[in-house]
A and B are shown apart, each in its own frame.
Chain A
Amino acid sequence: MSRSARIRLFWATAVVFAAVYTLACTGLPHFGTAVHPYGTRAVATSLRQRTANVVSSVNFDQRALDTLGEESILFASVLGTLVLLRRARDERVGPPQAGRVLPSTRLLGLVMVPITLLTGVYIVAHGQLSPGGGFQGGVILATGLHMAYVAADYRVLKRIRPLAVLDLADALGAGAFVALGFAGLIAGGAYLQNVLPLGTFGQLSSGGLVPLLNAAVGVEVGSGIIVLLASFLDQAVEVRPARNSGSGGGT
Chain B
Amino acid sequence: MVPTTDLLPLAIAVPLLGAVVLVVVGRWLPRPAIDALVTVWAVLEVGCLAWLWLRTGDGHSVSWLGGWSPVRGESVGIVLVGDRIGVGLALLTGALVLAVVVYSWRYFDEPPEAHAGTFPALILLFEAGMVGFALTGDLFDAFVFFELMGAVAYALTGYRIEDPRPVQGALVFGVVNSLGAYCSLLGIGLVYARTGELGLAQIGVQLARHRPDVLLSAAFVLIVTGLLVKAAVVPLHFWLPDAHSVAPTPVCMLLSGVMVELGVYGTARVYWVVFSGPHGITHAHLRAVFVAAGVLTALVGAVMCWQQRHLKRLLAFSTVGHVGLFLAGTALLTPAATAGTALYVAAHAGVKAALFATTGVLLDRYGSVDEHGLYRRGRDLPFVGALFAVGGLGLAGLPPFGTALGKAVAEHAGEDEFPWLPAVFVLVSALTGGAVLRAATRIFAGAGPRPRDQYAGTETTGGGEEPEIRDPQRRVPVPMLVVPAVLLAAALAVGLLPGLGAALAHAARQFTDRTAYTTAAIHGHTVAPSTPVPDVGWSAEGVLLALASTVLAVLLAMAAVWGPALRSPAVGRATAVCDGVGRRVIVPLRRLHSGHLGDYVAWLAVGMAVLLVVMAV
Contact = CB atoms under 8 A, between A and B. Distances in A.
Interface of A: 1, 3, 6, 9-10, 12-14, 16-17, 20-21, 23-29, 35-39, 41-42, 45, 58, 61-66, 68-70, 72-73, 75-77, 79-90, 164, 167-168, 171-172, 174-175, 178-179, 181-182, 184-185, 189-194, 245-251
Given A83-B155, A191-B10, A45 B76 contact: yes
7 contacts: A38-B192, A63-B77, A65-B141, A69-B148, A79-B115, A191-B9, A248-B164
Interface string B211-231: 001111011000000000000
B119 A250 contact: no
A189 B460 CA distance: 56
B569 to A, nearest CB: 32
Nearest to A38: B196
A185 B12 CA distance: 14
Nearest to B147: A73
Interface in B124-182: 125, 128-129, 132, 140-141, 144-145, 147-148, 151-152, 154-156, 158-159, 161-162, 164-170, 172
B66 A184 contact: yes
B67 A189 contact: yes
A191 B313 contact: no
Interface stretch (B82-90, B553-561, B605-613): B605-613
Contacts of A69: 129, 132, 141, 144-145, 147-148
A72 B19 CA distance: 10
Given A84-B161, A190-B6, A73 B148 contact: yes
Nearest to A185: B6
Given A62-B68, A76-B125, A250 B193 contact: no
Contacts of B66: 61-62, 64-65, 184, 190-194
Interface in B222-255: 242, 245-246
Nearest to A250: B460
B52 interface: no
B5 interface: yes
A175 B594 contact: no
B609 A6 contact: no
B122 A191 contact: no
A83 B159 contact: yes
A192 B6 CA distance: 11
A191 B65 contact: yes
Interface in B174-201: 186, 190, 192-198
B458 interface: yes
A179 B17 CA distance: 8
Interface in B1-18: 5-6, 9-10, 12-13, 16-17
Nearest to B196: A37
B602 to A, nearest CB: 5
Contact of A1 (B140, B164, B594): B594
B471 interface: no
Nearest to A27: B215
Nearest to A195: B67
B279 interface: no
B459 interface: yes
Residue among A17, A69, A192 facing the most chain B CB atoms (10 A cut-off): A69
Which 3 pairs from chain A and chain B are nearest by CB?
Answer: A249-B595, A80-B155, A248-B168
B193 A29 contact: yes
A63 B194 contact: no
B214 A76 contact: no
B65 A73 contact: no
Contacts of A58: 76
B231 to A, nearest CB: 20
B598 interface: yes
A27 B193 CA distance: 10
A125 B585 CA distance: 63
Given A68-B16, A82-B115, A190-B6, A23 B214 contact: yes
Nearest to B241: A250
A111 B145 CA distance: 42
How many residues of B sit at the interface, in one of the four size bands?
35 or more
B410 interface: no
Given A66-B78, A191-B13, A251 B219 contact: no
B32 interface: no
Interface of B: 5-6, 9-10, 12-13, 16-17, 19-21, 23-24, 27, 63-68, 74, 76-78, 112-115, 118-119, 121-122, 125, 128-129, 132, 140-141, 144-145, 147-148, 151-152, 154-156, 158-159, 161-162, 164-170, 172, 186, 190, 192-198, 213-216, 218-219, 242, 245-246, 310, 313, 458-460, 590-596, 598-599, 601-602, 605-606, 608-609, 612-613, 616
Nearest to B145: A69
A215 to B, nearest CB: 16
A27 B144 contact: no
Contact of B6 (A41, A191, A247): A191
B502 to A, nearest CB: 32
Nearest to A67: B144
A219 to B, nearest CB: 13
Nearest to A192: B66
B65 A65 contact: yes
Given A13-B608, A29-B194, A90-B162, A249 B19 contact: no
A28 B215 contact: yes
Interface of A is mostly: helix
B162 A79 contact: no
Contact of A250 (B76, B151, B310): B310
Nearest to A163: B114
Nearest to A191: B9
Contacts of B601: 10
Contact of B65 (A10, A70, A171, A190): A190
Contacts of B156: 80
Nearest to B605: A13
Given A178-B20, A248-B164, A248-B165, 8 more contacts: A28-B193, A28-B194, A37-B197, A62-B76, A83-B155, A87-B113, A191-B63, A192-B9
A72 B147 CA distance: 10
Contacts of A76: 19, 122, 125, 148, 151-152, 155
A171 B121 CA distance: 11
Contacts of A86: 112-113, 115, 161
Given A38-B76, A250-B593, A82 B118 contact: yes
Nearest to A16: B609
Contacts of A70: 144
Contacts of B242: 248-250
B171 to A, nearest CB: 9
B158 A84 contact: yes
A168 B17 contact: no
Contact of A84 (B155, B591, B599): B155
Contacts of A61: 66
B218 A21 contact: yes
A175 B215 contact: no
Contacts of B147: 69, 73
A27 B78 contact: no
A1 B603 CA distance: 11
A182 B13 contact: yes
B599 A20 contact: no
Contacts of B167: 84, 248
Contacts of A6: 598-599, 602
A150 B255 CA distance: 42
Contacts of B17: 175, 178-179
A182 B17 CA distance: 11
A181 B146 CA distance: 21
